[in-house]
Structure 1
Amino acid sequence: MYHDLDLFIGGDWRAASDGATRGVHDPATEEQLGTIAVATEADIDAALAAARAGFAQWRQTGTWERGAILRRAADLIRARVDEIATLMSLETGKPLAEARGETGAAADQFEWYAEETKRIYGQIIEARTPDARMAVIHQPVGVVAAFSAWNFPALLPARKIAAALGAGCSIIVKPAGEAPASCAALIRACHDAGVPAGAVNFLTGNSGLIAERLIASPIVRKVSVTGSVPVGKEILRLAADGVKRVSMELGGHGPVLIFDDVDPEKVAETCAATKFRNCGQVCISPTRFYVHDSLYDRFSKRFAEVANGLKLGRGLDEGVQMGPMANARGLSTIQDLVADAVDRGAEILAGGRRPEGINRGFFFAPTVLGHVPDDARVMREEPFGPIAPITPFRTYDEVMERANSLPFGLAGYVFSNDLTTATKAYEDLECGMIGVNEMLLATAEAPFGGIKESGMGREGGSLGLHDYLDPKYVKMKLAR
């Protein structure tokens, strides 16, 4: 099922110019699935030239035609959902049901922007004098360099590809080396749907080399990245030299505020199901649980029960609810975070170790930590894995100060049945996205992104399209 992947440049799949490849591994078995081509400088330059030519053609394509092509791409992705989901499960380890859901969400991005490309509205401004006309139009930025992460290997690149194409830009996509096949499937769908040669290109290999060469090129005018905060800062530094447009969706550390007017067991079930989705490797994952002290015991007990009841295993196996972590370095980090929290006084309510009976793969048991102090690393560093740290609070002002104390601001969550409390909390939380009595935030029609060190710009919704457009103001004097 899994196969070796080449580069896609100028409408053709091709090997790296020097033939170099690198392995892709199954995180559940640690066995090699296939290989990716390792792009050389010559390959990167070829992609740049192809994207420049592709942009010249694609930007002249009418919005209704662009929309029709994007709609066909959405239909093809949905028709190929089983194939794409299987590839995704193999390369990420996530359960097949989650992989199918992600594939559908990727198709939704193409469907949304198929419609939104027709709604690139300008503005007429009333001039001060009768012989003048003033207007604002929006035009595509140009060639886009896009860098994606491994945790959602279809949805994340889909947000970038669909928005860029919808705006009339061409794009060069660099997926994560751990999970490239899902993105490659999107590229095939775009090609098969009729996206012209060069408008979409696909590079794999050395991330640092590809990023430096693409961003340094004057051909690239826009950079989009999904990744960690350190990666985002480095991309921003590279983009500064050329004053490139940049949008970044970076790491978070999602606070969850659970007030004293809710059903703690019901909320615990909702939180646990979301926390362990994709093995906790979700940028908007709930990662700091602040529970009113009157509900703390009941909430923690039920949370741990749900964690202990999850079935672990290879994502393709029947009934599996949580797969492995994506790589060995993530597993090592999670183990260190748990050890640090326990050393600082936290108690293990569930998990806290490698699961018994699983002797290979990057598995870690769903872990619930209780009474976690604020100085524990897991409360200060994004725990990109299956750890749920829980801590009690007493007053609104106390919990809001603790929740806003970090430099991250991606997503936050509030559970309260009191309208005043819920409204005040979502207004006061310093995050780009808030869920109130809800944890499933991502959807094609809504803007996705953070504030503070969690990034800039938005993906999804109408705002996502405008990150790929330049506004142009025009003032015209009428002839006398």
Structure 2
Amino acid sequence: MINCFVDAGVPAGVVNLVFGVPAEISEYLIPHPTIRKISFTGSTPVGKHLASLAGLHMKRATMELGGHAPVLVFDDADIEATIALTVQHKFRNAGQVCVSPTRFLVQDSVADRFIDGFASAAEQIKVGDGLDPNSQMGALANDRRIPALERMIEDAVDRGARLVTGGRRIGNKGYFYAPTVLADVPQDALIMNDEPFGPVAVINRVASVDAALTEANRLPFGLAAYAFTGSSETASRLREGVRSGMLTINHLGLALPEVPFGGLGDSGYGTEGGSEAVEAYLDTRFVTQKL
């Protein structure tokens, strides 16, 4: 990507790429007087550390951190269309996306239908080399992700969750993992509280809009949320009640360049999209003069 800037004729020194140990780089650059603005996309623990470094030097920071996106599905939604959309979105980049839908909160009366349909669609995904045009899902980023997912899935099953499909590594070459669906996962399971950042969907049942909102807002994260309903009244309650920086209802309307992209709480602050993103890079000054 940086080479594209060079090829396009951007003058030397305008865009810079530094390789090395991340901690050493950030601990040098953030305090440096030349640097006036920090933007970070990554995990919440690292983001908190970098934000504290920026704060020590009174430097502005945009923090786009982790999430644990809830998906609220109600019995008046178009269930088949919802499954088609969310399966595609869940397993995009093998679930390694900060806004990846993770905690599916499905109303009781349609939960079994949703679980069966979602699992069936997940099983049809072709996993393979990302350079193969026939592949629909590629590998995990590194070898650390596989034991991390295995630990979360094993913990959930040990606590009473049902492994509907997946839950296994594919082959012994590369970091490929089967699209996985867990159902009826207890609230105290690791995967209900820590972002899996992988191809694992958790599908739990909820009795009402109130129950869905309670679970959606339970965690300190608030990046993205998804909802599917045929009721304008329910949609209105969700717009007011879901605590997240972004909420998309009945479609996938996030991450467009012209709209804000950012979270609340442990998911960070500031935005990476829309005209609002530029504000963090500007200084507001007031000058008054009497002649």
| TM-score normalised per structure 1 | 0.60
Structure 1 residues 277 and 342, CA gap change in structure 2 (3 angstroms): same
Q: Does 1:382 align with 2:199?
A: no
Q: Does 1:319 align with 2:134?
A: yes
- Per-residue CA shift, 1:262-301, capped at 9, x if unaligned? 1223212211111000000000010100000000000000
Which residue identity lines up with residue 347 of structure 1 in the other structure? R
C-alpha displacement of 1:440: 4.4
C-alpha displacement of 1:460: 1.3
Name the residue aligned to 1:333: 148
Q: Does 1:344 align with 2:159?
A: yes
> Residues of 2 paired with 1:290 and 1:200: CA distance?
43
Contact 1:414/1:426 (<8 A) preserved = no
> Residues of 2 paired with 1:266 and 1:344: CA distance?
31
Name the residue aligned to 2:179: 366
Which residue identity lines up with residue 320 of structure 1 in the other structure? S
Contact 1:325/1:364 (<8 A) preserved = yes
Name the residue aligned to 1:282: 97
Q: Which structure 2 residues correspond to residues 100-119 of structure 1 after superposition, within 5 A?
A: none
The one of 246, 249, 252 equivalent to 1:439 is 252
Contact 1:255/1:411 (<8 A) preserved = yes
Specify the SS of the correspondent of 2:36.
strand
Contact 2:37/2:60 (<8 A) preserved = yes
> Residues of 2 paired with 1:199 and 1:309: CA distance?
46
> Residues of 1 paired with 2:180 and 2:38: CA distance?
36
Bigger Cα Rg = 1
Report sequence identity in percent: 49
Specify the SS of the correspondent of 2:16.
strand
- Per-residue CA shift, 1:15-54, capped at 9, x if unaligned? xxxxxxxxxxxxxxxxxxxxxxxxxxxxxxxxxxxxxxxx
> Residues of 2 paired with 1:264 and 1:456: CA distance?
33
Contact 1:341/1:377 (<8 A) preserved = yes
The one of 240, 243, 260 equivalent to 2:58 is 243
Contact 1:337/1:377 (<8 A) preserved = yes
Name the residue aligned to 1:302: 117
Q: Which structure 2 residues correspond to residues 330-479 of structure 1 after superposition, within 5 A?
A: 330-355=145-170, 358-477=171-290, 479=291
- Say what the alpha-carbon RMSD is for the aligned residues: 1.1
- Per-residue CA shift, 1:116-158, capped at 9, x if unaligned? xxxxxxxxxxxxxxxxxxxxxxxxxxxxxxxxxxxxxxxxxxx
Specify the SS of the correspondent of 2:102.
strand
C-alpha displacement of 1:220: 1.0
- Per-residue CA shift, 1:248-270, capped at 9, x if unaligned? 00000000100110122321221
Which residue identity lines up with residue 280 of structure 2 in the other structure? D
Which residue identity lines up with residue 5 of structure 2 in the other structure? C
C-alpha displacement of 1:229: 0.2
Structure 1 residues 322 and 440, CA gap change in structure 2 (3 angstroms): farther
> Residues of 1 paired with 2:32 and 2:186: CA distance?
47
> Residues of 1 paired with 2:253 and 2:161: CA distance?
28
Which residue identity lines up with residue 270 of structure 1 in the other structure? L
Q: Which structure 2 residues correspond to residues 39-438 of structure 1 after superposition, within 5 A?
A: 185=1, 187-355=2-170, 358-438=171-251
Specify the SS of the correspondent of 1:369.
strand
Higher strand share: 1
Name the residue aligned to 1:19: none
C-alpha displacement of 1:318: 3.1
> Residues of 1 paired with 2:191 and 2:31: CA distance?
36
> Residues of 1 paired with 2:4 and 2:285: CA distance?
32
Task: Provide the aligned length of Structure 1 versus Structure 2.
Answer: 291
| TM-score normalised per structure 2 | 0.97
Specify the SS of the correspondent of 1:473.
coil
> Residues of 1 paired with 2:281 and 2:155: CA distance?
43
Specify the SS of the correspondent of 1:288.
strand
> Residues of 2 paired with 1:374 and 1:268: CA distance?
23
Specify the SS of the correspondent of 2:113.
helix
Bigger Cα displacement from structure 2, 265-274 vs 289-298: 265-274
Which consecutive segments of 4 or more residues in structure 1 shift more than 6 A? none
- Per-residue CA shift, 1:280-334, capped at 9, x if unaligned? 0000010100000000000000000011111111011131001110111112111
Structure 2: give runs of 5+ residues left out of the alignment: none
Contact 2:146/2:169 (<8 A) preserved = no
- Per-residue CA shift, 1:159-187, capped at 9, x if unaligned? xxxxxxxxxxxxxxxxxxxxxxxxxx2x2
Contact 2:78/2:230 (<8 A) preserved = no
> Residues of 2 paired with 1:328 and 1:473: CA distance?
53
C-alpha displacement of 1:376: 1.1
